[in-house]
Structure 1
């Protein structure tokens, strides 16, 4: 009996924090629900069409849940999402299940070297390639200036190098996100179509110049090169 309790405690401590945030999370159901999401966001939540659809893989669970609720409450303007988030077809349990599933997906930023000591498995290699996402560097902006600005203005919420704070926050991960998608969201913030921080009436992003924002995006486009 003691051994079983010890094993259960060990398994609990090894679970990602996102899976401990909601009781009775069903990752199998989350995977099934994600098949609907995959039509736009990709099988592994990698996004697509050069940023037309955002990367959602690895985003904090609390952030994904919050976005789902904002879509449902019509507080986020996204016509494409409306048909998928109504409570009749997308019950609350599914919201938490798919959010937990998406949050624990890990994408590769580069393929591992081929192990020549083992027989090459093309199918396994193809499956790895499907999980690959490395954001192209931007033609505009100064990554070093962006790094300084990011660490001064953005790091406290969005984490080290933009990789988010999965355990204790609902601010999104910015690293590994499509640059064109980030640019579109900034434009929406500036137009008042999205809220950057509901607790702060001052719209922070309006205080940045276009040049400063492009510097930040240039920096973010480099961080997945060194993972």
Structure 2
């Protein structure tokens, strides 16, 4: 009986220490073909911020939001059918999240050496993500961001864990999400319907958004 117990214990230890299944980046790239219809091939999103940038976003954040769309914890009618398990399994979610997180978008136009053909130049330019500067008080915005937002979203706005990257994101998209938070139509991460954003006035929020556009070259 003791030997059986020891064998069972050893088996349990071995199972618990097995490495997690590796993500399939090729599968993630394949899945991204569907995402690209709105978010573009490289995950830049819509040029006017109608669709968010998802390239370089935090893995845990992407996974969480896809599951939230599926469960309607975050209501997004266009995303709902694509996130159902028959269309996007849990393994698929991990694959697409890892693939998107690994996409790096430059914040400066490429330097051409003169030997590139037209297609190569076009592809190089398409991987540049420069968000237009937003108006606002950068000093005030920076002060508020570093005091109120950096603990979750990182000092450079690159995000952390389940908290999203904000730098390099389209300002109109961020403003739209802020409006949803303030109206109570979208929970602000783990804070519920009322959080830090509700304590800021509209000018402070505009200043924070302006600050984020000013540090995008340092966020990559």
- The TM-score range, normalised by the shorter chain, is 0.7 to 0.9
Q: SS of 2:44's equivalent? A: coil
1:68 to 63, 66, 69: 66
Change in CA separation of 1:58 and 1:172 when aligned onto 2, cut-off 3 Å: same
Deviations 1:169-223 (A, max 9, x none): 1100000000000000001111111111325674211101000000000011111
- 1:158-197 equivalent positions in 2, closer than 5 A: 158-165=153-160, 169-197=161-189
Q: Deviations over 1:73-119 (max 9, x none)?
A: 01111111011011111111111100100010001111232336xx2
- Deviation of 1:126 (Å): 1.2
CA distance in structure 1 between the partners assigned to 2:106 and 2:78 by the alignment: 28
Q: Please name the residue that 1:4 is paired with.
A: none
Alignment of 1:72-151 (within 5 A): 72-115=70-113, 119-138=115-134, 140-151=135-146
Contact 2:55 2:104 in 1 (8 A): yes
Following the alignment from structure 2 to structure 1, what is the Cα–Cα distance between the partners of residues 174 and 20? 29
Q: Map 1:4-23 onto structure 2 (within 5 A).
A: 23=21
Shift of 1:22: 5.4
Change in 2 beyond 3 A, CA 1:41/1:218: same
Q: 1:46 aligns with which of 34, 37, 44?
A: 44
CA contact (8 A) 2:44 2:54 kept: yes
What's the counterpart of residue 221 of structure 1? 213
Q: Larger radius of gyration, structure 1 or 2?
A: 2
Q: Is there any run of 5+ residues in structure 1 with no aligned partner, and where? A: 1-20
* 1:155 maps onto 2:153 in alignment: no
Residue-pair matches, total: 201
Partners of 2:189 and 2:112 in 1: how far apart?
45
Distance 1:164 1:198 in 2: 15
Give CA deviations for 1:33-66 in whole Å, capped at 9, x if unaligned. Answer: 0000000011011001410000000001000000
Contact 1:108 1:133 in 2 (8 A): yes
Structure 1 ranges of 4+ moved more than 3 A = 199-202
What is the SS of the residue equivalent to 1:198?
helix
TM-score (norm 1): 0.83
Contact 1:22 1:96 (C-alpha < 8 Å) held by counterparts: no
Cα distance in 1 for residues equivalent to 2:68 and 2:217: 33
TM-score (norm 2): 0.86
Secondary structure in 2 matching 1:161: coil
